[in-house]
C-alpha cells in the first residue's frame, strides 16, 4: 500500500480481501488455530514458518490493524499491545534490563513519568531526564556505556512542547542508541517520526487513533533502519534466543524486522499483553477516519486558541500553532498540517477560577481522557499528574492553573460559545 497517500492508507491498508471474501475486516474471535500436521505446528514454535499459534501472540484481525499502522508510519512492522503504557514498557524492556539506563525528555505524559521514575526503577532500570532547556553538552552528559535508548514525545502531553527531532536524533545516534518517539498526540497524519530520525515509534492508540474513547490500546512500530548489530551493543537481538531453539533475530528475520519480531514473540509471549481481536476491530474503524478527524481537530483547535488568546479571562494560552508560542518554529518545521486538538491555558483567578470555569461548561465535559471526538477538559495538577512533586510538575511544564482542553470535532462555533459562557461565569 506504500504507493498511496496517507488518507487512502487509513481506509485501505492492512486488509485486502480476495475474491468473495468479506469486504470489511472480519473479527477473528478465536484464541486457537488448526493445523494439518504436528510438524507444521513444530515449525511455528521454532519460528521457521509464518502463521498464527495462539492469540496471546498474534491473531489475524489484530495482524491486519498492525500492518495498517506500520504502513501509516512508514515502518517495517508493528505490534499492538493492551495499552499505551504496555507499548512503552515493552518497547523499553525489549532492549533494556536491570543495571542499564535510558535517557528521556522530562516533558512527557504523567503516566509515562510514573512508569519511568517508579516502576522501572524498582526493576533496576534507571531513567535520566533531559529538560528542554538543557544545552547539548548537558544532554550528552546524561549518556554512558549502559545507556540503551533516548525517549521523547512528538507533542508532549500536556505541556505541548514540540520535540526537536533533528537535535535529539543527532544526540542519540552520536551515542549509538536508538531514538524512541511516542507519537500519540501527533498521529502519523500530522507527523511521521521515521522521516525525522526516529527509530522506534510508540502510540497510545487509546487517543486519536481510536478517536472515539472506546478502546484502550497501544502499539510499537519499528522503523527498520537502526543497525542493531553495530558495536555488539544489543546482544538480545544479535545472539541466540534459547527460548526459540537459538533463533537470532537480526539474522533470521533481518535487521529491519528484528526489534518488532522479538517484542512480539518473546515479550508479548512472556508477559501476555496482546490487544484482543474486538478492540483491534474497533481501533481499525477509528483509523479509517483518522485523516479526516485530525484535519477537523486542528482546524477547530486553531479557532479556539485564537478565541482564548483574545479573551480577557484567559491569562495565557499554549498552542504550538500560535505565532506567539515558543514552540511555533518547531511546529512549523515538524507539524505543517497542525498540532492536534489539545490546548492548555490559564484562567484568570488561578486554581479556584479554573475549577469554576470547568464546572460551568455545558458542552465540554470533565473527563480524564483527551484526544477523542468530544470536546473535554481536565485539570492535570489535581488529577493525571497529582503524583508528581512540585519540581517534577515544573519539569513536565505544568502549572497549578493549567486547564487542558481537548478540542473535539463538533462545530467550532458551539465549542467557542460554551467556553465563552463558562469563562464569563468564572469572572470573580
Site residues for ligand PLP per CB under 6 A = 83-85, 109, 111-112, 153, 157, 182, 184, 204, 206-207, 216, 218
Closest-by-Cβ residue to ligand PLP is 84
Q: Are 191 and 164 in contact (CB under 8 A)?
A: no
Secondary structure (DSSP) of 121-180:
HHTT-EEEEEPTT--HHHHHTT--TTEEEEEEESB-TTT-PBP-HHHHHHHHHHTT--EE
Taking the complex as a whole, how short is the minimal distance between the CB of residue 196 and ligand PLP, in angstroms?
17
Considering only CA atoms, which of 219, 218, 226, 230 is closest in space to residue 258? 226
Taking the complex as a whole, how short is the minimal distance between the CB of residue 205 and ligand PLP, in angstroms?
7
d(CA 130, CA 105): 5
Taking the complex as a whole, how short is the minimal distance between the CB of residue 204 and ligand PLP, in angstroms?
3
And the C-alpha cell for 92? Answer: 523499553
d(CA 357, CA 421): 9
Taking the complex as a whole, how short is the minimal distance between the CB of residue 238 and ligand PLP, in angstroms?
29
Q: Which is nearer to ligand PLP, 116 or 228 (CB)?
A: 116
Taking the complex as a whole, how short is the minimal distance between the CB of residue 75 and ligand PLP, in angstroms?
18
Helices (H), 195-246: 235-238
Q: Which is nearer to ligand PLP, 116 or 253 (CB)?
A: 116
Q: Is the peptide bond before 158 cis (omega within 30 degrees of 0)?
A: yes
Q: Which is nearer to ligand PLP, 101 or 157 (CB)?
A: 157
Q: Which is nearer to ligand PLP, 222 or 372 (CB)?
A: 372
Q: Which is nearer to ligand PLP, 206 or 311 (CB)?
A: 206
Residue 206, CA distances (Å) to 106, 219, 265, 337, 340 in order: 22, 10, 23, 22, 15
Q: Which is nearer to ligand PLP, 159 or 354 (CB)?
A: 159
Helices (H), 183-313: 187-190, 235-238, 249-252, 255-262, 269-271, 277-288, 290-310
Q: What share of the chain is helix, strand, coil (3-state, %, to 5)?
A: 40, 15, 45
Taking the complex as a whole, how short is the minimal distance between the CB of residue 1 and ligand PLP, in angstroms?
26
Start-to-end C-alpha separation, the chain: 56
Q: Which is nearer to ligand PLP, 143 or 151 (CB)?
A: 151
Taking the complex as a whole, how short is the minimal distance between the CB of residue 370 and ligand PLP, in angstroms?
7
β-partners of residue 247 are 241
Q: Which is nearer to ligand PLP, 60 or 341 (CB)?
A: 341
Taking the complex as a whole, how short is the minimal distance between the CB of residue 351 and ligand PLP, in angstroms?
23
Amino acid at each position: 500500500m506504500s504507493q498511496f497517500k496517507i488518507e487512502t492508507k487509513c481506509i485501505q491498508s492492512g486488509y485486502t480481501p480476495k475474491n468473495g471474501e468479506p469486504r470489511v475486516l472480519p473479527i477473528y474471535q478465536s484464541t486457537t488455530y488448526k493445523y494439518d500436521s504436528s510438524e507444521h505446528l513444530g515449525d511455528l514454535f521454532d519460528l521457521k514458518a509464518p502463521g498464527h499459534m495462539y492469540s496471546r501472540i498474534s491473531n489475524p484481525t489484530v495482524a491486519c490493524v498492525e500492518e495498517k499502522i506500520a504502513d501509516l508510519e512508514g515502518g517495517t512492522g508493528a505490534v499492538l499491545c493492551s495499552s499505551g503504557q504496555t507499548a512503552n514498557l515493552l518497547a523499553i524492556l525489549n532492549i533494556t534490563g536491570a543495571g542499564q539506563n535510558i535517557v528521556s525528555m522530562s516533558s512527557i505524559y504523567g503516566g509515562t513519568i510514573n512508569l519511568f521514575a517508579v516502576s522501572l526503577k524498582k526493576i533496576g532500570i534507571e531513567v535520566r531526564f533531559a529538560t528542554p532547556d538543557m544545552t547539548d553538552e548537558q544532554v550528552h552528559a546524561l549518556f554512558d556505556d549502559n545507556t540503551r535508548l533516548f525517549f521523547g514525545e512528538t507533542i508532549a502531553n500536556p505541556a505541548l512542547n514540540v520535540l526537536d527531532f533533528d537535535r535529539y536524533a543527532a544526540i542519540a545516534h552520536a551515542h549509538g542508541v536508538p531514538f524512541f518517539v511516542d507519537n500519540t498526540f501527533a498521529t502519523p497524519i500530522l507527523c511521521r517520526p521515521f522521516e525525522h530520525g526516529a527509530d522506534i515509534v510508540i502510540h497510545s492508540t487509546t487517543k486519536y487513533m481510536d478517536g472515539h474513547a472506546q478502546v484502550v490500546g497501544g502499539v510499537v512500530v519499528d522503523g527498520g533502519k537502526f543497525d542493531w548489530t553495530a558495536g555488539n551493543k544489543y546482544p538480545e537481538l544479535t545472539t541466540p534466543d534459547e527460548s526459540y531453539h537459538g533463533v537470532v533475530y537480526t539474522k533470521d528475520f533481518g535487521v529491519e524486522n528484528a526489534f518488532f519480531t522479538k517484542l512480539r514473540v518473546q515479550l508479548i509471549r512472556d508477559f501476555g499483553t496482546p490487544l484482543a481481536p474486538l478492540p483491534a476491530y474497533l481501533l481499525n474503524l477509528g483509523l479509517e477516519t483518522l485523516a479526516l478527524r485530525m484535519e477537523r481537530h486542528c482546524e477547530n483547535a486553531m479557532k479556539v486558541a485564537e478565541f482564548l488568546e483574545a479573551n480577557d479571562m484567559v491569562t495565557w494560552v499554549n498552542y504550538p500553532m500560535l505565532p506567539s508560542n515558543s514552540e511555533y518554529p518547531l511546529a512549523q518545521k515538524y507539524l505543517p498540517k497542525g498540532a492536534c486538538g489539545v490546548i492548555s491555558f490559564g484562567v484568570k483567578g488561578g486554581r479556584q477560577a479554573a475549577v469554576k470555569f470547568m464546572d460551568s461548561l455545558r458542552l465540554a465535559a470533565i473527563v480524564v481522557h483527551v484526544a477523542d471526538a468530544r470536546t473535554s477538559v481536565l485539570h492535570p495538577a489535581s488529577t493525571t499528574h497529582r503524583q508528581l512533586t512540585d519540581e517534577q510538575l515544573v519539569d513536565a511544564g505544568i502549572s497549578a492553573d493549567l486547564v487542558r482542553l481537548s478540542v473535539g470535532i463538533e462545530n467550532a462555533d458551539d465549542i467557542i460559545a460554551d467556553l465563552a459562557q463558562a469563562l464569563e461565569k468564572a469572572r470573580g
